[in-house]
Amino acid sequence: MDAILLTVTGIALALAAVMGVLLTRMLSEERRRSEARVALLSDLAADPGRAAPYAEIDAFPPEDMRPRPEPATRPSRMLGFDDIELRPSVEDVRGVHDLFHEQEEPSPWPRRFAVV
């Protein structure tokens, strides 16, 4: 039993050491990237005559060259089905008007006083 505990402890310590090494490498790499970014930005700020590293945006967007869509027309074979109402208008649907309505219940206090 002690051998298993020592093995698990050794594996945990080794894993912690490896994670510590990875953390220090990541932090140093991030610090190096940050310093390079600061150097680049200070270089760009110091030289005003240098061209911008991004493309200029046109004042007018390019015209849309796609053809305009034509209005949809009904096929001639569907003309005979005008008598079907997909959404019939119903004045009052039973059960919908009181869907979220709370029922009026009498106060429970008279029963509570009777129990007391």
* DSSP assignment string, 14-66: HHHHHHHHHHHHHHHHHHHHHHHHHHHHHHHHH-TTSPPSSPPPPSSPPPP-S
pTM above 0.75, yes or no: no
- SS3 category, 12: helix
pLDDT digits (tens, 9 = 90+) for 34-63: 999 999 988 888 876 665 566 666 666 667
Note the pLDDT of residue 45.
83
* Tens digit of each residue's pLDDT (9 = 90 or more) over 2-30: 999 999 999 999 999 999 999 999 999 99
Q: In this structure, are residues 50 and 44 in contact, taking their beta carbons and an 8 Å threshold? A: yes
